[in-house]
Amino acid sequence: MGASCCEGKNPELEKMARDQRKVLWIVLAINIIMFGVEAIAGIYADSVALLGDSLDMLGDALAYGVTLYVVGLGLIAKARSAMFKGWIILFSSVSVIAAATYRVFTHELPSYDVMGIIGVVALIANLTCLVLLTRFRNTDVNMASVWLCSRNDIVANVSVLCAAVLVSFTGSPWPDLAVGGALAIFFARSAFHIFSESRRSLDSESVGRTKVGSCP
């Protein structure tokens, strides 16, 4: 008996899945390395903005790992993966807010030169990731959410660089705190966008299964 219609394999989809995995392994490695670099630099420089960006790198690394797991799986698995990444981003947002609140009371001036140097390195790393992921951004909700994570990183890097410049000119920690808070809000909005898209995909798949039922 021949294979059922539900078991057929599409060579083009399999090739796309392989290509996605290769790119995801690369961006996963980049984010793990940059998380370590930014976390150490953020602690050394007393920078909320750098710490926030490092947490975003960690969240992305976890997100890419989950994405690798669900590449080639069904829409439901991908939508749930995207939702998990949304929770990671939201956790990053809350963590940055907590760090910024602590810095408000300590009034420590961050090291703007370290912020600037690490900010440029992180920007180059994230631009590389964004370019690699762009070709897959419209393939499914899972890859779209990964691309969105990478885009968020670009915004965060530029914000860190702006904060470094403002701290150097004003001699005040407030630009760093303001950027950290703004990044937290930006992360939270992205998280809720991912939640909405994931829920829409899950609802669409549920309706489709109800209508189709099984293979003809």
Q: Summarize pLDDT for 146-195 with one digit per residue, the tens.
A: 787 788 788 778 888 888 888 888 888 888 888 777 777 877 887 787 78
Q: Please write the tens of the pLDDT for every residue from 46-79.
A: 887 787 778 778 777 877 777 776 665 666 776 7
**64 assigned to some structural domain:** yes
**65 assigned to some structural domain:** yes
Residue-wise burial string across 99-113, b where 16 or more C-beta atoms lie within 10 A, e elsewhere: bbeebeeeeeebbbe
Other beta carbons less than 10 A from residue 29's beta carbon: 12
* Higher-confidence position of 13 and 183: 183
- DSSP string covering 32-59, please? HHHHHHHHHHHHHHT-HHHHHHHHHHHH
* Residue 37 pLDDT level (bands cut at 50, 70, 90): very high
Mean pLDDT, to the nearest integer, of 209-213?
Answer: 48
Task: State the Cα–Cα distance between residues 39 and 35, nearest whole angstrom.
Answer: 6
Domain around 27: 12-206
CATH code for position 201: 1.20.1510.10
- Cα dihedral 183, 186, 188, 191, rounded to 10, equals -120
pLDDT for residue 193: 75
- Which residue, 133, 12, 135, is CA-closest to 67? 133
Asked whether the predicted pLDDT for residue 8 surpasses 50, the reply is no
| Model confidence, pTM | 0.66
**What is the number of domains present in the chain?**
1
**112 assigned to some structural domain:** yes
Q: Which of 39-43, 123-127, 166-170, 181-185 has the highest mean pLDDT?
A: 123-127
Task: State the Cα–Cα distance between residues 158 and 171, nearest whole angstrom.
Answer: 20
Q: Which amino acid is at 156?
A: A
**97 assigned to some structural domain:** yes
**188 assigned to some structural domain:** yes
Least confident of 12-26, 95-109, 149-163: 95-109
Under DSSP, is residue 60 helix (H, G, I), strand (E, B) or coil?
A: helix
Residue tagged 């303001």 (tokens): 178
Structure tokens at 3: 């294979």
**6 assigned to some structural domain:** no
Task: State the Cα–Cα distance between residues 153 and 127, nearest whole angstrom.
Answer: 9
**168 assigned to some structural domain:** yes
